[in-house]
Structure 1
Amino acid sequence: MSTAESTTWWIRAYRIGFGVLGIVALLWIPLRNIDSATFSLTNYLSYFTIESNILTVVVLLIGGAVAPQNARWQSFRGAVALYMLITMVVYAVLLAEVDVMLNDKWINDVQHRILPLVMLGDWMLVAMTRRMRPTPLLIAQWLTFPLVYGVYTLIRGPFADWYPYPFLDPREQGYVSLVIGLVVLTVVFVVLAVAMASLGDVRARWRDRAPTT
């Protein structure tokens, strides 16, 4: 797939379509609970799922409207695809049976399954002018946001007396278990980041490796 093909109308159309779906899913719970005394917009926005979905909407809508091709944008696009992959994997492994404020099945499906798969497919199959390489600098840049999110959550938690996810809550598991769990998650995130960088525009990688005749 050439760079010109990467901005064809149908690619722009599905990006905008899924971007609009993401907006609806993000607004559904706050609008439904606007008069609820127990609903906290700050807590809602403090979920990694919500933040990664907000970034996804930005990427999809901009990608649909103008489809940037510069390296900085492609790196940002890859980072957001990584965050959505993290969202999908962590939810499936650790949070499927946990109440994370998303009781509507369709919202759960959109934010934890559909949009992550859309971002993963878009990253793997839509051509780039220059493919990403899994360099230590790129991996460090991509993982800065999850690191900052973790620090923010652990600092805010004691003041708000609230943590978005059980594996980030030291009140019952203690700090030793918390640190061990975070180390394991960090290793998993690094592996996912390397895989994501390696899989960008995978069709071009296959084409480059094909033997010439």
Structure 2
Amino acid sequence: MAVEPVFPSSGKRLFTALAALLGWAGLTIQLYLILHLRWTVDASLLGGLINFFSFFTVLTNTLVAVVLTCALNLRSSRGQRFFLQPWVSSGIAVSILVVGLAYSLLLRHLWHPQGWQFVADELLHDVMPLLFLVYWWCCVPKGRLGLRHVAGWMLYPLLYFAYVLLRGHVLGLYPYPFVDVDKLGYAQAFVNALGILAGFVLVALGIVGLDRWLGRRRA
């Protein structure tokens, strides 16, 4: 059942606006870097755009930026009401937290970005997960989540993994080394994906538990 969105007060609204700005800034910088690199090597810009949206990090940060923008109540719409439903915003909170945790545990040691790439990297993997968690804690209505929502949230990473396998089979390109079938084989790629899914479920259960606890306190 849909619920009416609750918009932040003045102080929270300022925080939400800043978080939204940083979210869109990180995505814009990353998109520019990808397209600029492809331009310099005379590669397809459309291919760069497709590659950009093939990362779970980018997709999830886009959802985060959309929620934060909707929370500013700049324009009332059906899409706004959808994204501001507690179960939707909470599912996105789970996903962005997994982005931050997975990057820190599995990917950070693999490269050392410099310059604007470092800025984009920090915004997308470190800053936005923390900012969106604060937004979720302070601005999303609590006490409305249940275990059934965890199953629904799992569809997002599962569908993404299916897309990654299909794209990799067709193009031979995988966005993350832990699901690179060409190097690891299907068995190890599935084991790695199941491990990340298990982490996703643990984070989701933590969010549901926090939601219930905060809901009782605020009641």
TM score, norm. by length of structure 2:
0.81
Given the alignment, which residue of 126, 131, 148 partners 1:113? 126
CA 1:112–1:72 in structure 2 vs 1: closer, same or farther (change >3 Å)?
closer
Q: Contact conserved, 2:70 with 2:83, CA < 8 A, in 1?
A: no
2:55 pairs with one of 47, 54, 61: 47
Q: Deviations over 1:10-56 (max 9, x none)?
A: 11121122111211211113334343334622111100000000000
2:110 is aligned with 1:98:
yes
Using the TM superposition, give the Cα deviation of residue 201 of structure 1 relative to its aligned residue in structure 2, in angstroms.
7.4
Partner of 2:10: 9
In the alignment, does 2:198 pair up with 1:190? no
Are residue 75 (structure 1) and residue 92 (structure 2) matched?
Answer: no
Maintained 8 Å contact 2:63/2:92: yes
Q: Which amino acid aligns with 2:118?
A: K
Instruction: Tell me how many residue pairs correspond in the alignment.
Output: 204
- Identify which of 135, 140, 152 aligns with 1:122: 135
CA–CA distance in structure 1, aligned partners of residues 122 and 173 of structure 2: 25
Quickly say closer, same or farther: Cα 1:109–1:205, change in 2 above 3 A: farther
Provide closer, same or farther for how the CA distance between residues 151 and 5 of structure 1 changes in structure 2, counting only shifts above 3 A.
closer
173-182 vs 41-50, which deviates more?
173-182
Following TM superposition, by how much is the alpha carbon of 1:127 offset from its aligned partner in structure 2, in angstroms? 5.2
Task: Give SS of 2:85's match.
Answer: helix
* 1:146 matched residue in structure 2: 157
Hey, what's the Cα distance between the residues in 1 that align with 2:88 and 2:199? 20
Structure 1 residue corresponding to 2:70, chosen from 62, 67, 82: 62
- Indicate the residue corresponding to 1:211 in structure 2: none
Query: Once structures 1 and 2 are overlaid, which stretch shifts more, 109-118 or 91-100?
Result: 91-100
Greater helix percent: which structure? 2
> CA separation of 1:100/1:46 partners in 2, compared to 1, >3 Å: closer, same or farther?
farther
Partner residue of 1:84?
A: 96
CA 1:207–1:57 in 2, change beyond 3 Å: closer, same or farther?
A: closer
1:7, CA displacement in angstroms? Answer: 2.2
Q: Secondary structure at the match of 2:12?
A: helix
Q: Distance in 1 between matches of 2:27 and 2:143?
A: 31
Q: Please tell me the root mean square deviation across aligned C-alpha atoms, in Å.
A: 2.9
Hey, what's the Cα distance between the residues in 2 that align with 1:112 and 1:153?
20
Unaligned runs of 5+ in 2: none
Q: Residue 17 and residue 71 in structure 1: after superposition, are their counterparts in 2 closer, same or farther (change >3 A)?
A: closer
Q: Which residue of 1 aligns with 2:20?
A: 19
Structure 1 residue aligned with 2:181, among 167, 170, 174?
170
**1:103-147 residue CA offsets vs partner (Å, 9 max, x unmatched):** 72111111101110111122123351x523331x21111111111
Q: 1-side partners of 2:64 and 2:133: how far apart?
A: 11
